[in-house]
C-alpha cells in the first residue's frame, strides 16, 4: 500500500508525540532505557496506528493481531504508543517503574492485561510468538488472517533460544508470523559486532527458511510496504531487519550505546523535549 503524504505526516507527528512521552516518562521514573525506545518509536507508531488489527476499547478481541515484545526493556515505547492509541490514559505513563504501577520496569501482563506477554529476560519472545502462530494455525488453519508480530532486538540474537525459535518457525512454515528486528547495532556493553558479531544477519535467517527484508526503520512507507510484502509470502515466516538509529530524534543521544540503559536527567530531558518539539530547530517559535 502506498502511503499518502498526509498519512506519512500524520504518523510522523504521532511518533514525535510518542518520543516526547518517552522522554517525559523516563525523566519521571529516574531510570530505564532511552536509546531503544526512541529508535523504535516509528515502527511502534506504524504498527499501532496503521498496521495492527486491534481495538483499544476491546483489548481481548479474539480477532486481534498479537504483538509480542521480546526485548522488554524498550517497554517505554510500547507503553507510550499504547497510551496514545487509547488503551489507557496518557497521564498514567508517569507511573512508569513506580510502586503499584501497571507499568512495570519490564512488561508484566499480570499487572497490565492488555499485554500479550511478559518479558525482560532476552531471547524468549520469538519462541512465544512461534507458539502463538502454531496455536493460531491449529484453530484457524493455514489461511488465518490473524498475524503474530514479534518485536525483538539485535542484541538478543546472542541468545540460543532466539535461534531455536527461528529454526522451528522455518520448519513449520509459519506464514502468519512476522518478526521485526531492531537492528540498531548497540547493546548494553557496546556495539553488537564487538560484543558478538551477528553478520551476515540476512544469510542466517535465510538459512533457517525465513523470508528476509531489510528496511529503513524510520521510513513509514518502507515499514508499511515491508509488512504488506511479508503478508504476501505464503510459504515462510517473515523477518524484517529494520535498520534504526538508537536514540533517534534527539541528536545528543543518537548512536551512543551509553544511552542504552540510562534515563535522561532534568537538563537532558529539557534539551531532548525542546529538540523534539522544535523538530530539531525547524520550529523557531518554541520558547523554553
Partner 1 sequence: MNNLNPKIFDKDVEQVPIRKGFGQGLVLAAEKDENIVGLCADLTESTQMLSFKEKFPERFVEIGVAEQNLATVASGMAAMGKIPFLSSYATFSPGRNWEQIRTTVCYNNANVKVVGSHAGVSVGPDGGSHQALEDLAIMRVLPNMTVISPCDAIEARKATLAAAGMIGPVYLRLAREPSPIITTEETPFEVGKAQVFYQPNEKARVGIIATGALVYQVLLAANQLETEGLAAKVLNISTIKPLDEEAIINLAKETEAIVTVEEHQTTGGLGSTVAECLAKNQPTKIVFIGVHDKFGQSGKPAELIEHYGMDANSIKTAVRRLLN
Nearest CB to partner 1, comparing residues 11 and 68: 68
Applying the rule CB under 8 A, the residues between 16 and 75 that interact with partner 1 are 66, 68
Minimum gap (Å) between residue 123 Cβ and partner 1: 8
Taking CA atoms, 97 is separated from 33, 40, 250, in Å, by: 11, 20, 23
Minimum gap (Å) between residue 76 Cβ and partner 1: 20
Q: Minimal CA–CA distance to 162: which of 104, 218, 201?
A: 201
Minimum gap (Å) between residue 150 Cβ and partner 1: 10
Which one among 8, 90, 134, 233 touches partner 1, defined by CB under 8 A? 134
Applying the rule CB under 8 A, the residues between 195 and 224 that interact with partner 1 are none
DSSP letter (8 states) at residue 233: -
Which one among 25, 40, 93, 133 touches partner 1, defined by CB under 8 A? 133
The most distant pair of C-alpha atoms in the chain lies apart, rounded to whole Å, by 57
Which one among 7, 95, 161, 274 touches partner 1, defined by CB under 8 A? 161
Can residue 135 be called a binding residue for partner 1 (CB under 8 A)?
yes
Cell numbers standing for residue 50: 496503521
* Number of residues forming the site for partner 1 (CB under 8 A): 32
Helices (H), the chain: 5-29, 35-39, 41-46, 75-85, 125-140, 160-172, 192-195, 201-207, 220-231, 266-277
Helix axes 160-172 and 125-140, enclosed angle (nearest 10): 20
Minimum gap (Å) between residue 5 Cβ and partner 1: 38
Separation of alpha carbons 97 and 124, rounded Å = 22
Minimum gap (Å) between residue 168 Cβ and partner 1: 6
Which one among 57, 60, 91, 160 touches partner 1, defined by CB under 8 A? 160
The answer to whether 103 touches 92, Cβ cutoff 8 Å, is yes
Which residue bears the cell 538508537? 246
> How far is CA 56 from its chain centroid?
18
Nearest CB to partner 1, comparing residues 38 and 130: 130
Applying the rule CB under 8 A, the residues between 95 and 124 that interact with partner 1 are 108-110, 116-121, 123-124
Helix axes 5-29 and 75-85, enclosed angle (nearest 10): 120
Nearest CB to partner 1, comparing residues 94 and 146: 146
Which one among 27, 46, 74, 168 touches partner 1, defined by CB under 8 A? 168
Minimum gap (Å) between residue 22 Cβ and partner 1: 24
Binding residues (CB under 8 A) for partner 1: these are 66, 68, 108-110, 116-121, 123-124, 127-136, 138-139, 160-161, 164-165, 167-168, 172
Amino acid at each position: 500500500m502506498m502511503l499518502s503524504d498526509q498519512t506519512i505526516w500524520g504518523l510522523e507527528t504521532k511518533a514525535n508525540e510518542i518520543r516526547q512521552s518517552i522522554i517525559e516518562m523516563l525523566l519521571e521514573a529516574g531510570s530505564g532505557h532511552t536509546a531503544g525506545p526512541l529508535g523504535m518509536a516509528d515502527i511502534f507508531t506504524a504498527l499501532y496506528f496503521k498496521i495492527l488489527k486491534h481495538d483499544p476499547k476491546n483489548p481481548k478481541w479474539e480477532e486481534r493481531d498479537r504483538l509480542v515484545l521480546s526485548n522488554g526493556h524498550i517497554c517505554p515505547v510500547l507503553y507510550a504508543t499504547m497510551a496514545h492509541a487509547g488503551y489507557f490514559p496518557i497521564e498514567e505513563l508517569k507511573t512508569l517503574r513506580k510502586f503499584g504501577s501497571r507499568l512495570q520496569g519490564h512488561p508484566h501482563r499480570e499487572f497490565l492485561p492488555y499485554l500479550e506477554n511478559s518479558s525482560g529476560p532476552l531471547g524468549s519472545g520469538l519462541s512465544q510468538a512461534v507458539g502463538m502462530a502454531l496455536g493460531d494455525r491449529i484453530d484457524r488453519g493455514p489461511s488465518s488472517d490473524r498475524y503474530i508480530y514479534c518485536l525483538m532486538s539485535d542484541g538478543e540474537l546472542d541468545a540460543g533460544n532466539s535461534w531455536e525459535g527461528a529454526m522451528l518457525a522455518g520448519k513449520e512454515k509459519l506464514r502468519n508470523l512476522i518478526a521485526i528486528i531492531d537492528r540498531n547495532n548497540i547493546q548494553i556493553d557496546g556495539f553488537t559486532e564487538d560484543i558478538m558479531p551477528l553478520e551476515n544477519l540476512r544469510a542466517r535467517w535465510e538459512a533457517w527458511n525465513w523470508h528476509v527484508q531489510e528496511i529503513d526503520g524510520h521510513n513509514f512507507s518502507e515499514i508499511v510496504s515491508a509488512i504488506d510484502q511479508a503478508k504476501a509470502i505464503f510459504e515462510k515466516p517473515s523477518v524484517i531487519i529494520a535498520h534504526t538509529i538508537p536514540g533517534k530524534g534527539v541528536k545528543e543521544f543518537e548512536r551512543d550505546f551509553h544511552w542504552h540503559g540510562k534515563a535522561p536527567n532534568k537538563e537532558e530531558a529539557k534539551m531532548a523535549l525542546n529538540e523534539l518539539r522544535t523538530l530539531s530547530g525547524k520550529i523557531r517559535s518554541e520558547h523554553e
